[in-house]
Amino acid sequence: MTRRFSPWPSADPMLREMQNVQQVRGEAKRRWFFCHDIDLVVWEEADGAICGFQLAYDKHRDEHSFSWDKERGFSHYVVDDGEPMAGVNDTPFLYADGPFKRDRVLDLFLAMSSEVPADIVAFVEARLREFNGPLLP
């Protein structure tokens, strides 16, 4: 049996790298990996070193975002999608959130990252494991 993937990334359970990601002048190179439940945005310096990432999870329920930046360290946010009612698409906002469900998010990330380059997976996994803020089981 051959596994067939939809051309639409949201139908695929694995993180896939998006092509032609918009770059911001003066910022590190941005790479975006997307799937139905999680997104990973990675920023890379000119030499390829990772200088930050943002992992969005539970995108269709109670969306949260976990970030790491080499200058600022860790942050954990709840995402307000900016849509107070159906049909209104306002700007999402990030609000500081409490304890992080690290083990569940780490398991989810690892299960969905087989198509992400191994060095990026290892880096994100290491940062998630070293997070020492408040955790939820």
Question: What's the predicted TM-score (pTM) here?
Answer: 0.79
Asked whether residue 137 is domain-assigned, the answer is no
Three-state secondary-structure class, residue 47: coil
Cα–Cα separations (whole angstroms), residue 86 to 10, 23, 82, 90: 20, 30, 11, 11
Number of structural domains the chain divides into? 1
Asked whether residue 27 is domain-assigned, the answer is yes
| Three-state DSSP string of 52-70 | EEEEEECCCCCCEEEEEEC
Host domain of residue 126: 15-130
Query: In angstroms, rounded to a whole number, what is the distance separating the alpha carbons of residues 76 and 41?
Result: 15
- Tens digits of per-residue pLDDT, 75-129? 888 776 655 555 555 665 555 666 788 999 999 999 999 999 999 999 999 999 9
Asked whether residue 92 is domain-assigned, the answer is yes
